[in-house]
Structure 1
Amino acid sequence: MDWYIGKEWNDTARGLQKKVLSLEFQRVEKPLLISTVEFTVKKPCLNLGTRPSKYLASNETQHTLEMGTADSPIDCYIEILLQQFVLGETSACSIITKTGERLQFELKLDRIVSNIQIDKLSAGEIYNLSLKYKEKGVTMYKAHPRFACDYFSRAAKLLITYKPFDKLDEEKNGIDNHALELLFVQIQTNLAACMLLEKRYEHVIYHTQFVETQEQPSEKSIYRRALAYYYLKEFEKAQKLIERVPQYEEKREFSKLRDNIATSWKSSNANYKQLVQRMFS
C-alpha cells in the first residue's frame, strides 16, 4: 500500500478522516461534484446515536447516492468523504462531532454510475443545478444554517461563471438571462441571512449590493441589508433603506427596526456630544 499516495486523507476543519484499507482497481476514477455512485457501508457506524442519516442509520448496506442531495450534516460529510475515494476502494472513515464524539464506519465505493464535469454543462443545466442547491439550502437553513450556507455558496459560484447574464441568449444557451439574474439575487439574499447569523455584517452588505440598483428589491433583501447597517452603526443608511418600503410603519419587523435605529442613533449622537464636551472642557 505504500505506493498509494492517497492512503490517508484528513479535513481537520470539518473533522473528517479516511484511511484506505484495500483497493480493488477497475480503473483510476474518483467521483466528481456532479456524480451518482453506488457504495456499501461495510460496518455499522459507531456512536451515530440519534443523528439523522439516510445511509448510516439504515439497515441496508448498499446505497445509491447522488452528490448534492444530502439533507443532514452526516450525509453531507459522507458525500465529501466519497469524493476522496477511487473506484473499488474500501476505507475506514470517521467524523468528529461538535461534542467531540468520533463516528466511525467503513465504506466501499462499488461503482460510479455517472460522472459529469461542471465545465461541460450548458447554461440551462447550470441553472437547474444551482436551483437544486438553493432549494436544498432552504430546506436545511432552519436546523443546519451552516450547511445551508454551503449549498447557497455552491449555487452562487456556479451562476457567477455566467455573469454578466445579459450576454446569454435563450435560444443559444437554453435559459433566459432574466431567470439566471432572479435566481442569483434570491441566492444572494439567502446568503445574507446566513451571514447575519454569523454576525458577518460587511458580508451582508456585499451580498445585497443589488438592492441599491434594483427598482423593486424584495423586502427580505432590504430588511437584511438595513439590519446589517444597523449593527454596523450606519444608522442613516439603515433608515433610508427602511423608508424605501411602502407602508413600512404597518409592517412589524420594519417598524421595530426603525424604532431601534432612531433610539440608537439618538444615543450615539448624545455620546458624541459628551465626548466633544470633555475634549474641550
Structure 2
Amino acid sequence: MDWYIGQEWNDRVRGLSKKVLNLQFQHVEKPLTNSTVLFEIYKPCANLDGRPSKYLGSNKIHMPQILEMGTAVTPIDCYLEILLQQFLPGETAACSIATKSGECLQFELKLERIISNTAIEKMTADEVFKLSLRYKDNGVVMFKPHPKFAFDYFVRSAKLLITYKPFDKLEKKTNGIDGIDVEKLFVQVQTNLAACLLKEKRYEHVIYHTEFVETHDNPSEKSIYRRALAFYCLKEFEKAQKTIERVPNYEEKREFVKLLENITSSWKTSNAHYKQVVQRMFK
C-alpha cells in the first residue's frame, strides 16, 4: 500500500488535518466511535501551551497509551479521538489541530492497534444505555467551560436513546434495561440540550426539546424553568406564566419569582405598546 503514504485528510470545519508518514499495514479497518485503541505519540505536541490533554503532554512521548472513544472531556482530546478514527492500524501520521487563537498544535502519532471495535448496532440495549449515560455525563462536565462540546455529547446521547422508542417496550428481563430508566435518562438529556440551546438563543428548539413538560406528571424544575424562559424570550408571556405556575410553591423559589416578575413587566409593556399602535391606527 505504498500509494497510501502521503495521503492527507482534512476537516476544515474543526481545523483538523493529518498526513500519512508511514504504514506498517495490518488490515483495512478504522476505529469506530465506540472503539478502544492503543496508540503512541512520536513527537512532542507543538504549541500545546498548557492546554489540558490526557494524552499529548510531554511526559507521554513514546509511551503506549490506551484510549477509549467517547471519554474525552477536553477539546484537544475530543479532537484527538476524531483524528484517530481516520487512522489504519500501523499508520503513523503528522497531525494538526488549529485553535481559535490562530495557533496550530502539531504532533506525530502512530495507531498501534485497535483493541475493540464494536459497532453501535451490534450492542445490547443495556450497553447502548451505558454509552448514552457516559455521553450525558461527559456533556455535563464540559457544559460550563465548553458548551459546544457539551451540546455534541448531548446530541450523541439522545440519538442513541431515540432508537429504542417507545421506551415502554423495554423490559429488564428481555432487554437488560427497564424502559422507565431509559425514558428518565432521555428526559435528562433533553433538559441539558435545552440549556445549550438557550445559550445560543435558539428558543424555538428549546420549546421542542422540553415538550415533555406538558405531558409528564412531575417534570424537573430545571426543565420547567428553561421552557418558561424560552417562552418569555419569544414574547409568549401567557404560556411562560402558565408554565411557571406548574411548579409547586413557585412563589418561594427565587429564580421563578424573578422570571415571573420579568414576564409581568414585559407583558404590561407589550400591551401598552399594542394599545398605542391601535390608537394611532384609528386617529
Q: Same fold (TM over 0.5)?
A: yes
The reply to whether residue 23 of structure 1 matches residue 23 of structure 2 is yes
Q: Distance in 2 between matches of 1:148 and 1:26?
A: 35
Q: Distance in 1 between matches of 2:90 and 2:6?
A: 14
Are the equivalent residues in 1 in contact too, given 2:37–2:67 (CA < 8 A)?
Answer: yes
Q: Distance in 2 between matches of 1:203 and 1:18?
A: 35
Q: Distance in 1 between matches of 2:196 and 2:2?
A: 43
Q: Which portions of structure 1, spanning 4 or more consecutive aligned residues, are displaced by more than 2 angstroms?
A: 1-6
Identify the residue that residue 49 of structure 2 maps to in structure 1.
49
The reply to whether residue 79 of structure 1 matches residue 60 of structure 2 is no
| Aligned counterpart in structure 1 of residue 199 of structure 2, from 188, 197, 200 | 197
The reply to whether residue 65 of structure 1 matches residue 83 of structure 2 is no
Identify the residue that residue 110 of structure 1 maps to in structure 2.
112
The reply to whether residue 163 of structure 1 matches residue 162 of structure 2 is no
Give CA-to-partner distance per residue, 1:15-52, whole Å, 9 cap, x none: 11111111110111110111110111111111110110
3-state SS, counterpart of residue 66 of structure 2: strand
3-state SS, counterpart of residue 255 of structure 1: helix
The reply to whether residue 214 of structure 1 matches residue 203 of structure 2 is no
In the superposition, the TM-score normalised over structure 2's length comes to 0.96
Q: Distance in 2 between matches of 1:186 and 1:247?
A: 22
Name whichever of 8-17 and 178-187 sits farther off.
8-17
Q: Distance in 1 between matches of 2:168 and 2:129?
A: 15
Which amino acid letter does the alignment assign opposite residue 187 of structure 2?
V
3-state SS, counterpart of residue 38 of structure 1: strand
Q: Distance in 1 between matches of 2:217 and 2:167?
A: 18
In structure 2, relative to structure 1, the CA distance for the partners of 1:58 and 1:162 (3 Å cut) is farther
Q: Distance in 1 between matches of 2:171 and 2:75?
A: 38
Identify the residue that residue 39 of structure 1 maps to in structure 2.
39
CA-CA distance at 1:172 after TM superposition: 0.9
CA-CA distance at 1:58 after TM superposition: 4.3
CA-CA distance at 1:5 after TM superposition: 9.7
3-state SS, counterpart of residue 49 of structure 1: coil
Gapped runs of 5+ residues in structure 1? none
In structure 2, relative to structure 1, the CA distance for the partners of 1:211 and 1:99 (3 Å cut) is same
Q: Distance in 1 between matches of 2:5 and 2:244?
A: 56
CA-CA distance at 1:3 after TM superposition: 3.5
Which amino acid letter does the alignment assign opposite residue 28 of structure 2?
V
Q: Distance in 2 between matches of 1:5 and 1:58?
A: 27
Identity of aligned pairs, percent? 71
Aligned pairs, how many?
281
Are the equivalent residues in 1 in contact too, given 2:32–2:85 (CA < 8 A)?
Answer: yes
Give CA-to-partner distance per residue, 1:156-193, whole Å, 9 cap, x none: 00000000111122211111010000000001001110
In the superposition, the TM-score normalised over structure 1's length comes to 0.97
The reply to whether residue 13 of structure 1 matches residue 7 of structure 2 is no
Q: Distance in 2 between matches of 1:222 and 1:80?
A: 35
CA-CA distance at 1:4 after TM superposition: 3.2
Q: Distance in 1 between matches of 2:43 and 2:126?
A: 40
Are the equivalent residues in 1 in contact too, given 2:92–2:108 (CA < 8 A)?
Answer: yes
3-state SS, counterpart of residue 3 of structure 2: coil
Give CA-to-partner distance per residue, 1:45-70, whole Å, 9 cap, x none: 11110110011124122211010111
3-state SS, counterpart of residue 35 of structure 2: strand
3-state SS, counterpart of residue 27 of structure 1: coil
Identify the residue that residue 238 of structure 2 maps to in structure 1.
236
3-state SS, counterpart of residue 199 of structure 1: coil
Alignment RMSD (CA, Å): 1.4
Which amino acid letter does the alignment assign opposite residue 11 of structure 2?
D
Which amino acid letter does the alignment assign opposite residue 12 of structure 2?
T
Are the equivalent residues in 1 in contact too, given 2:45–2:58 (CA < 8 A)?
Answer: no
